[in-house]
Amino acid sequence: MIGLQHYLLVSAALFSLGILGVLTRRNAVNVLMGIELILNSANLNLVAFSRYGAGNLNGQLFAVFVIVIAAAEVAVALAIVLTLYRLRRSPNLDTADLLRG
């Protein structure tokens, strides 16, 4: 019987893979994909708690807010990545060292 813990396990796997993507990629767009995986795993947790918890919709309401934050985040982050690319001709994050003295 599938229960709350199975959903939490899937979410934990998504979260760990997202962390791996954020840590090991040089390309800024790939790092953004890792962040999307992490936000999706948090959403999956919230929806699972909403289904198996106290029986109200609060988890799903939170998930909608997380989706709004994710949309705002990806728009601003891509703007920053494009500006960085225009400055350095490279999408790699280790070229973003303009503040180094």
Partner 1 sequence: MNPSDVVFLALAALTVGSAGVVVLARSLIYNAFALLFTFFGVAGLYLLLGADFLAATQLLIYVGGILVLLLFGVMLTHKLYDLDLKSEVQQFSAGLFILVGIFGILVFTIHRTPWRVGPGRAPAATTADLGREFMGAWLLPFEAASVLLLVALIGAAMIVRRRKEA
Please select the residue that binds partner 1; options are 72, 96, 97, 101, rule is CB under 8 A. Answer: 72
Residues in contact with partner 1, counted by CB under 8 A, come to a total of 70
CA distance 55 to 53: 6
Q: Is 86 exposed, middle or buried (0-12, 13-18, 19+ CB in 10 A)?
A: exposed
Least gap, CB of 39 to partner 1 (angstroms): 9
83: contact with partner 1 by CB under 8 A = yes
Residues in region 13-42 near partner 1 by CB under 8 A? 13-21, 23-30, 32-34, 36-37, 40
87: contact with partner 1 by CB under 8 A = no
Check: CB of residue 81 under 8 Å from CB of residue 72.
no
